[in-house]
Amino acid sequence: MTCEEALRKLYEVIDKEASEIDAQEVKEHLRHCRSCMARYQFEEMFKTFVIDKASSPAKSEFLKGKIISQIQHLDENPGSGKNRGKFLTNPFRFRSIFVAVAAALVLCVLAAFASAKFYRHKVFIYPFEKTHMTVHALYPDKIPHNTEAVSKFLNGDMRLAVNDLGNGFSMIGCCFDEVQGQRFAHLRYQNGLTHVSLYIGKNDGVNLPDFEKAVANNIEYFHRECKECLVMYWKMGDALVIAVTDDKQARLTDFLPALASI
Amino acid sequence: MDDRSSGVNEQKKKERFDKEALVHLDALYRTALRMTKNEGDADDLVQETYLKAYRFWDKFEEGSNCRAWLFKIMTNIFINNYRARSRKPQVVDLEDVDDDFLFGQLSALGPSDNPESHFFAKVFDDDVKKAIDNLPEDFRLVVVLSFLEGFSYQEIADITGLQIGTVKSRLHRGRKLLQKELWHYAVKNGFIKEPAQR
């Protein structure tokens, strides 16, 4: 193992995330290499130092009492805002990993069925697929970046943010497109070779196709895999979100962080 | 179900919640403080987290990692409610942070007086917390979950919804930024004399 390789594994080893073989090889290298050893020792010392200085337990006894009395209150008034409580103004989006896995399985099974129904998608999917796949050809110089107008449209009408998706996807452009004659914001994201188009607009008046239904993170969504893309749509408050991606492994949960501000 | 048995169930639910969820209060509050950077917001954030957790307690799978579940709820609330308020584009200049910035600076001070221990001994608790607070939010969250809460890369990915590669790179950069921050702090306060440019 060279010094370069050893230093590449530096943090994984210190964070105890390296494989046993890697850790063993690094250890072997450190035995013979004083300069790498010094670096490792320093980084280890630094981590211990930060943990030592910053993780003193916070005093939260008072808070505990407050929480318990709030829970008590919740139980005494079970009807008060069961669905519309203060803490639920944002829809609750966490479900256990199992549900996500189950949703993924359902998605796979349904995807198999979907191929048989391929031709029914033409009316709805095709326009999306086309704009999605040809967006670079449509705008050869640069994808329009009309952030201000799009952001105004989303914040004014639907209170959504124009952000990076937070999962490696960053926004490369946004503009307006039409869906069945209605104005939709078209947000375009990229992560390496993968692209995602999100179309966001009002959810009334759009004629939606009968895709396969699935649920993830408490959100009901509809999806269909077609020739080049995976198309999904779901409703968020008064907004309709349509996601088109060339990554057919993508799941609804991938796109939620950026859309969470509704 | 009659009133009595539902009362008994509520009681059982509360006991389980107390035993499994409320024990993590200190840890959640510690991280909430670093996330929100002030006690009032941290209070609110932790309360909201627990109330949400209590409402959805039946969704929590017994035997799975309650601590990670709570942190995930808290991170979601934070990202949805708190971050949105002060969301500014984050401009992080990382070009000038070398991988071994702090190590290099300290080594350059010379081998004789053991500069590392000197540095580590001089910096106060509050200054380290302040340095963490000064990290850009994306990096701060990952650093706190890893360093202070000891979550694995995979757990952090599950909690934040980030991909594991992103977790790793943010943690890497977060470390560098933190070291740089602490170095400047130590120099500014005269704990360490800045050596000639290396």
A118 pLDDT band, cuts 50/70/90, is very low
* pLDDT, position B46: 94
Structure token pair of residue B9:
């169930």
A85 pLDDT band, cuts 50/70/90, is very low
| A156 against A232, higher pLDDT | A232
Contact B158 A96 (CB under 8 A): no
Asked if A187 contacts A135 with a C-beta cutoff of 8 angstroms, the reply is: no
Contact A11 B148 (CB under 8 A): no
- Cβ neighbour number for residue B114 with a 10 Å cutoff: 12
Q: Which residue of B47, B51, B86, B167 to mutate against A (max A Cβ within 10 Å)? A: B51
Contact A87 B64 (CB under 8 A): no
Query: Which of A233, A214, A11 minimizes the C-alpha distance to A128?
Result: A233
Question: Of the candidates A15, A67, A96, which has its C-beta nearest B146's C-beta?
Answer: A15
Structure token pair of residue B143:
């650093």
Structure token pair of residue A246:
């060339």
Q: Specify which of A137-146, A177-186, B6-15, B158-167 reaches the highest per-range mean pLDDT.
A: B158-167
Chain B residue with the nearest C-alpha to that of A83: B55
Contact A60 B46 (CB under 8 A): yes
| B83 against B168, higher pLDDT | B168
Distance CA A249, CA A230 (A): 8
* pLDDT, position A258: 56
Query: Which of A218, A14, A216 minimizes the C-alpha distance to A102?
Result: A216
* pLDDT, position A116: 45
Question: Of the candidates B26, B64, B107, which has its C-beta nearest A57's C-beta?
Answer: B26
**Cβ contacts (< 8 Å) between B51 and chain A: which residues?**
67, 70-71, 74, 85, 87
Task: Count how many Cα atoms sit within 13 Å of the Cα of residue A143 in the half-sphere of its side chain.
Answer: 21
Asked if A211 contacts A231 with a C-beta cutoff of 8 angstroms, the reply is: yes
Q: Which residue of A22, A94, A97, A194 to mutate against B (max B Cβ within 10 Å)? A: A94
* pLDDT, position B164: 92
Structure token pair of residue A110:
């349904």
Taking the CA of residue A49 and the nearest CA in chain B, the distance in Å comes to 7
A83 pLDDT band, cuts 50/70/90, is very low
Contact B22 A67 (CB under 8 A): yes
* pLDDT, position A149: 77
* Residue A60 three-state SS: coil
Q: Is the pLDDT of residue A145 over 80?
A: no
Contact B103 A42 (CB under 8 A): yes
Secondary structure in 3-state letters for B53-77: HHHCHHHCCCCCCHHHHHHHHHHHH
Asked if A111 contacts A222 with a C-beta cutoff of 8 angstroms, the reply is: no
Size of interface A-B (CB pairs under 8 A): 151
| B64 against B198, higher pLDDT | B64
Average pLDDT of chain B to the nearest whole number = 82
Taking the CA of residue B3 and the nearest CA in chain A, the distance in Å comes to 13
* Residue A17 three-state SS: coil
Question: Which residues, in sequence order, are CB contacts of B195 under 8 Å at separation 6+?
Answer: B105, B108, B109
pLDDT in tens, A56-69: 767 777 888 888 88
Question: Of the candidates A53, A85, A166, which has its C-beta nearest B125's C-beta?
Answer: A53
Distance CA A109, CA B180 (A): 50
Q: Is the pLDDT of residue B141 over 90?
A: yes
**Cβ contacts (< 8 Å) between A98 and chain B: which residues?**
61
| A14 against A225, higher pLDDT | A14
Asked if A244 contacts A140 with a C-beta cutoff of 8 angstroms, the reply is: no
A93 pLDDT band, cuts 50/70/90, is very low
Q: Given phi > 0 = left and psi -120 to 50 = alpha, else beta, which region is A59?
A: beta
Q: Is the pLDDT of residue B74 over 90?
A: yes
Q: Is the pLDDT of residue B71 over 90?
A: yes
**Cβ contacts (< 8 Å) between A50 and chain B: which residues?**
128, 132, 147, 178
A86 pLDDT band, cuts 50/70/90, is very low
A69 secondary structure, DSSP code = H
A81 pLDDT band, cuts 50/70/90, is very low
pLDDT in tens, B165-180: 999 999 999 999 999 8
Lowest-confidence pick of A40-44, A57-61, A180-184, B110-114:
B110-114
Average pLDDT over residues A237-253: 78
| A226 against A91, higher pLDDT | A226
Contact A70 B102 (CB under 8 A): no
> What is the percent of chain B where pLDDT is above 70?
80
Cα–Cα distances in angstroms (integers) from residue B90 to residues A94, A260, B94, B136, B180, in the given order: 26, 19, 12, 7, 18
* pLDDT, position A90: 40
Strand partners, B181: none
* pLDDT, position A217: 74
| B151 against A209, higher pLDDT | B151
